[in-house]
Amino acid sequence: MVPSRAPSRAAACYDGRVKDATRIARSALLLAALALLLPGCAPKLPIDEGTLVIALPGSPTSIDPRLATDAYGEQVLQMTHAFLIKRDAAGNPLPDLAESWEERSPTEIAFRLRSGAHFHGGREVTSADVRYTFEWILDPKNRSPHRATVEKILKIEAPDPHTVVFYLKEPFAPFLVGMARGIVPAGSGARGYTPVPGAGPYKVDDFQPDEAITLSRFGAYYGRSPAIAKVIVKFIPDSNVRFLELKKGSVNFVLNGVDPDLLPAALKNPNLVMEEEAGSNVSYLGFNLRDRILSDARVRRAIALAIDREAIVRTIWKGHADPADSILPPGFWAHAGGLPPLPHDPAEANRLLDLAGYRDPDGNGPKPRFTLTYKTSQNELRRRIAAVLQEQLRQVGIAVEIQSHEWGTFFSDIRKGNFQLYSLTWVGIADPDIYHYAFHSSQVPPEGANRGRYANPELDRLVEAGRRELSRSKRKEIYRKVQLLLLRDLPVLPLWVNRNILLRDRRLAGFTLTPDEDYTSVKEMRIAGQGRDAAGKRAP
Amino acid sequence: MRTYLLSRLAQLFPVVFGVVTIVFLLLHLIPGDPVEIMLGENAVAAQKEELRRELKLDRPVAAQYVEFLGGLATGDLGVSFRSREPVLREILSRFPATLLLAAASLLVAVLIAVPLGILSAMRQHSLLDHLSAFLAMLGLSMPNFWLGPLLILIFSIQLELFPVAGFGTARHLVLPALTMGTGMAAILMRMLRSSLLEEIRQEYVRVAAAKGLSRRATVLRHALKNSAIPVLTVLGLQFGALLSGSIITETIFSWPGIGRLMVQAIDARDYPLVQGCVLFIALCTVTVNLATDLLYSRLDPRIRYG
């Protein structure tokens, strides 16, 4: 019997259903593809709609001026909050909400507030708000990270709505630095990610952590109202993606957010321009002075002479950095000019190492004089720098073992003194009192940031005098001696100061690039070809 | 079935308890001080001690652990050290983004893997089979940190079809889902192909063919369902892993998911947030595994629980 080749009725019916299903699936796939393609047709760029889109490498953990500590939070606050005073690039105090101030005595400072400044909620800013802001920071139960910067305040008085008087426990020269803080309305609590109103040129419309913050122009700003009505700050952690967003035009302003390697490619885009100015973030190499080898100043000097900082600036930073001679950036009011240079001199480094008793066991052979460990974070650029330093020190017979840790572990090791060499960057130095905090013998962690355990009575005396002395010229002389002393002892080796690099859309203008990456002048920006509208005039 | 479900739910407790205990101990063993990170180096030692007392970090680890378990029993995961937001709110604010990306990645994987897996099994050793094997190899060997930027270059920069990064619209979802779904599709495709080939060689398939059923109908109606169990197992495991977030893909596409939240919490030594994230991820994984097990009985009536 020959089996029938004709399909059964049930099978034929099923086969038909399968064909139908296949057809439906094909049509659905086609429709889905079309649906994806259609909205992608040449979307309008934000700048065409008058929106400034800034990319920051990270999301702020807080946008409350009493709590924010990271650079991203500070940069957002520079757009949203009015500060009691501000600082210029050289560290000099400038008026903001306080139009003037007067030192009535070394422990009594009175600020005169401008009239006509309003919070985003509409209420006028008064001395009660200033008093409340600083008293909130001083209150231990609020756990403000800024408490230490204002701890010399004894009491605050607000005799009238436009005068606020600070009384200090003792004369304290860096006091004004702590006054560069955003002011919040009296009675404001700290509510996680919920923004606290400020009196700055922009108000916060929406804040989505790890995504973006949307700002809009504040019409009642006391100064000239911003020309750009809407600013979006996107938090984009990946450097390549920031570059691609710029290239596409979906981001039109990136300050220090594109790797030096990508800058030539970015500049091939005719819509982008680059601005470059001196920076203020100083990278340095830290030594552990309690280490048997590194406690010898000759060894530290030999390491300093073996490192070719010019070569690192040229190769890793592509020229977008300047060699540093102090942890104070050049241009800062207390930076000492004419400090003795530390040239690249391997021959002298070899001589100093021989003198210190660390002779090279096999001349130019593979055996090192000694081995040091170098700790760094997991940042890719930092690891490349570590590899270059390793090679440069190998040239003088010093073997370096690189240990790269995640940030929490790395920082914990540095604080505990569990290191020989490490590298970090000082960011946002506002006063030379940093020398007290970083090098005074009493400031070994957990008390301060003397991580290398440096102890020198002469330096202790100088930095103590520096924080008591109120005359700017006398302080400058004190800190000149401090810088000379540190270049002699080398508890840290200043490496370089990164330049600030702004990549922006060609049509944007009006931003002033400052060494301290200040975003205050965003309010001065305008988009070429877009007229200033009514709201862009001075508020009544 | 009900008994089985109850016993599985009962098993959930020791698993979750084990996970949170291990994480609690590990967090307290690794170097790094949350107080130093919160207050910065500026704060003096007395202020740090004050905060340490306030956060109860000055107490013995055992006492902190008992307190943590007590909070857990009442559903209180604590408050994030970093943001001062309740931990549960922090996690729930990120979970929709993670779930959306996980579901979309799974969909991408299934859409690629199922048709290609079926076709390559039906046409074994054909050009299409070799091509799909090549694609699977490519999908597996392309790391996300490379594939993500490549997709951005092609689809965002050159073709201008999708946004480069971000979160919010369906178009934002496409590239991260493709990045995560491609590698998964490669595994699923090879798994489905081999499983289907095994089924195609079974007696019942030959009987169906002998009865005159077309090859396509035989495979789609009979063999596919029977070969789906190992595929479902892999799918369940991968979906569970996707729900724990992907730090690489989330970083590339600025996606506000749980992966990034947890890494930031670890960096800041934000103990309550890390513990909360781990607990949540463990619960998701266990739930997905349970759901996968329950689906087995739907696919194969011979599998019965209870």
Q: pLDDT tens digits for A512-526?
A: 999 989 999 999 999
Contact assignment for B42 to A409 by CB distance below 8 Å? no
Is the per-residue pLDDT at A124 higher than 60?
A: yes
Is the per-residue pLDDT at A118 higher than 50?
A: yes
pLDDT the model gives residue A159: 96
pLDDT, tens digit, 9 for 90 and up, residues A496-514:
999 999 999 999 999 999 9
pLDDT the model gives residue A26: 55
Is the per-residue pLDDT at A532 higher than 70?
A: no
pLDDT the model gives residue B299: 76
SS3 category, A79:
helix
Contact assignment for B164 to A248 by CB distance below 8 Å? yes
Is the per-residue pLDDT at A155 higher than 70?
A: yes
Interface of B with A in 184-203 (CB under 8 A): none
pLDDT, tens digit, 9 for 90 and up, residues A343-367:
999 999 999 999 999 998 887 778 9
pLDDT the model gives residue A222: 94
CA distance A200 to A186: 16
Is the per-residue pLDDT at B234 higher than 90?
A: no
Which of B48, B164, B220 is nearest residue A241 as measured by Cβ atoms? B164
Contact residues, chain B, for A8 at CB < 8 Å: 211-213
CA–centroid distance for B113 within its chain: 18
CB pairs under 8 A between A and B: 163
> How many CA atoms lie less than 13 Å away from A76 in the CB half-sphere?
36
B81 has a chain A CB within 8 A of its CB: no
Contact assignment for B83 to A61 by CB distance below 8 Å? yes
Is the per-residue pLDDT at A235 higher than 60?
A: yes
Contact assignment for A18 to B221 by CB distance below 8 Å? yes
Instruction: Report, as an integer, the average pLDDT of B257-261.
Output: 92
Q: Which of B41, B55, B112, B167 is the best residue to mutate to test the A interface, defined by the most A CB atoms within 10 Å of its own CB? A: B41
Contact residues, chain A, for B153 at CB < 8 Å: 244
Residue A33 confidence class, pLDDT cut points 50, 70, 90:
low
Torsion sign, CA atoms B90, B96, B101, B106: positive
**A347-351, A434-438, B45-49, range with the lowest pLDDT:** B45-49
Percent of chain A with pLDDT over 70: 90
**A31-40, A127-136, B119-128, B149-158, range with the lowest pLDDT:** A31-40
**A336-350, A486-500, B95-109, B126-140, range with the lowest pLDDT:** B126-140
What is chain A's length? Answer: 540
Helix axis angle, A297-306 to A380-394, nearest 10°: 110
The maximal CA–CA distance of chain A, rounded, in angstroms, is: 120
Most confidently modeled range among A113-122, B213-222, B223-232: A113-122
Contact assignment for A408 to B152 by CB distance below 8 Å? no
Is the per-residue pLDDT at B298 higher than 80?
A: no
Determine what percent of chain B falls in helix, strand and coil, rounding each to the nearest 5: 75, 0, 25
Through-space distance between the first and last CA atoms of chain A, rounded to whole angstroms:
103
B143 has a chain A CB within 8 A of its CB: no
A442 Rama class: left (phi>0) / alpha (psi -120 to 50) / beta: alpha
Tell me the nearest-neighbour CA distance from B164 into chain A, angstroms. 6
Contact residues, chain B, for A11 at CB < 8 Å: 211-214, 217
Record the pTM: 0.84
A83 and A181 in contact (C-beta within 8 Å)? yes
pLDDT, tens digit, 9 for 90 and up, residues A317-340:
999 999 999 999 998 999 998 899
Higher pLDDT, B201 or A450: A450
